[in-house]
Amino acid sequence: MLDILSGLETHVALTLILSLGFVLAFEFINGFHDTANAVATVIYTQSMKPQAAVLLSGIFNFLGVFAGGLAVAYAIVNLLPVDLLVAVNSSRGMVMVFALLTSAIIWNLGTWYFGIPSSSSHTLIGSILGVGVGNSLINGTNVSTGINWSKAIDVGLSLLFSPLFGAGLAGLMLLVLMKWRPRSNIHKSPYQRQQIEGRKHPPFWARFMLIVSSLGMSFSHGSNDGQKGVGLVMLVLIGIVPGQFVVNLDSDPIQIEHTKIAALQLKELYQRNEAAILAQYPAPSKPAPAFSCSPSATQQYAADLLSAIGESKSYQQLPESRRWAVRTQLICLADSAKKISKIGSIGDVEKKQLKGIQRDLTATTEYAPLWVIAAVALSIGIGTMVGWKRVALTVGEKIGKKDMTYSQGMAAQTMAGISIGLASFIGAPVSTTQVLSSAVAGTMVVGRSGLQLSTLKSIIMTWVLTLPVCMGMTIGLYYLGVQLFG
């Protein structure tokens, strides 16, 4: 890790350290901001002592980041406009990173201070969309092209439906438990059990399930939210020390050969469907004010890529300028493959081929070194052990009108963990906070415990305001940064 600082000028090294510190600070805040979601039920039901619950939650968050892969990381990164992704080494690229992280941190700290369960994922996505809009306004381009809207819609749908999915599953599980064991002690609240039976802890199996589901929830949170930090760290590294990180220097000759084959296949597919592609994506009549990728230039991108790689069997053999050229063409070709696959006249066989081409084209650009994953995992794990109480109180006591029962805690936490784990598996960024809060609300409805409307209004208002407020803050910070630093 430390070898990346060798040979750097002092101001560049300081910028790199500050930028990485900013990203890891965001993940640290994410850790304690979202930890309450994993420990609220297990602490509230007295299944574990707070210190043990938070410590184990931190450990499982740490492990989750390692196991999560990179699908969510680059789903978030690819929300950014393509012209910024291929020019992130400019001062504007650094302004972008600082603007989006500053607004995300401010909103996260504010909602945490007031004990309102809000989504770090939602916050980060709003900030990234703000960069896209701000970039379009500064460049004088159409806002509709300033954001990767297809990816934004996919992310938006996952954020919209995952809470409904979690609430429905949690309510269904509680209903099954109520039908299966209607008179069981699992349907008592901790207060009722202590008053009636004088026992502090829940029944054995309820306690076991609450602990296991809490750890599973922590693992799922790390695997989903930790990836977002990994993606941001890679943006910083690519922007400040591009020679070492624009492409995976550890790529083996087979991966590089697959990349070249994918470029040739896309070129041939373009030639077969040129008329349909140009009808959907005509060549621009005049140069764009900022760099942009267009499917109409696919053959040129492919030729430039093959020329940049040449006969090299390793990216380490290429000079830094050619590594950056390889990255630029790979991003543009992958973007073209995705856009071409959405053309109605493209057949199913070719659409399947385009998915494989896209996968091979991104194999050596969508990666992360082990130390990056470890640093993010450590930040989110340590953050998990701090500052959990404010939001835990809201999740545990203020969503339903009645005290949470053991069965409600089990159902909410188990199904929320499963929902988030599935989302990580398919590469869909979701909100841990939204999923668990909705799952708790779902169990309160099924259990006829009622809902505290004042709390729900605060949570819903926060969810509604997160996107526009974070977008607005990021647009302002990005515009100011561009004016000051170019």
Which residues, in sequence order, are bridge partners of residue 160?
A: none
Q: For 267-318, how does the pLDDT look when each residue is reduced to its tens digit (9 = 90+)?
A: 999 999 999 999 988 887 666 555 567 888 899 999 999 999 999 999 999 9
How far is CA 152 from each of CA 14, 120, 399, rounded to the nearest angstrom? Answer: 33, 16, 30
Cα 283 from chain centre? 33
Residues of the chain below pLDDT 70: 1-3, 7, 33-36, 81-90, 115-118, 142-151, 285-292, 387-398, 400-401, 455, 459, 486
Which residues, in sequence order, are bridge partners of residue 97?
A: none
User: DSSP readout, 303-340?
Assistant: HHHHHHHTT-SSGGGS-HHHHHHHHHHHHHHHHHHHHH
**How far apart (Å, rounded) are the C-alpha atoms in residues 49 and 464?**
34
- Residue identified by tokens 């081929």 is 353
**How far apart (Å, rounded) are the C-alpha atoms in residues 189 and 169?**
21
**How far apart (Å, rounded) are the C-alpha atoms in residues 78 and 340?**
17
User: What local confidence, expressed as pLDDT, does residue 265 receive?
Assistant: 95
User: What local confidence, expressed as pLDDT, does residue 393 receive?
Assistant: 63
User: What local confidence, expressed as pLDDT, does residue 286 receive?
Assistant: 66
User: Residues with Cβ < 8 Å from 310, sequence gap 6 or more?
Assistant: none
User: What local confidence, expressed as pLDDT, does residue 7 receive?
Assistant: 67
**How far apart (Å, rounded) are the C-alpha atoms in residues 248 and 311?**
17
**How far apart (Å, rounded) are the C-alpha atoms in residues 233 and 226?**
11
Q: Say if residues 232 and 74 touch (Cβ distance below 8 Å).
A: no
Cα 146 from chain centre? 20
Question: Would the pTM count as exceeding 0.85?
Answer: no
**How far apart (Å, rounded) are the C-alpha atoms in residues 183 and 329?**
65
User: What local confidence, expressed as pLDDT, does residue 86 receive?
Assistant: 64
**How far apart (Å, rounded) are the C-alpha atoms in residues 437 and 129?**
25
For the chain, domain boundaries: 2-243+368-485, 247-281+291-362
- Coil, strand or helix at 400: strand
Instruction: Give the other-Cβ count within 10 Å of 361's Cβ.
Output: 27
User: What local confidence, expressed as pLDDT, does residue 253 receive?
Assistant: 93
**How far apart (Å, rounded) are the C-alpha atoms in residues 424 and 271?**
36
User: What local confidence, expressed as pLDDT, does residue 123 receive?
Assistant: 83
Residue type, 212: V
**How far apart (Å, rounded) are the C-alpha atoms in residues 173 and 418?**
12
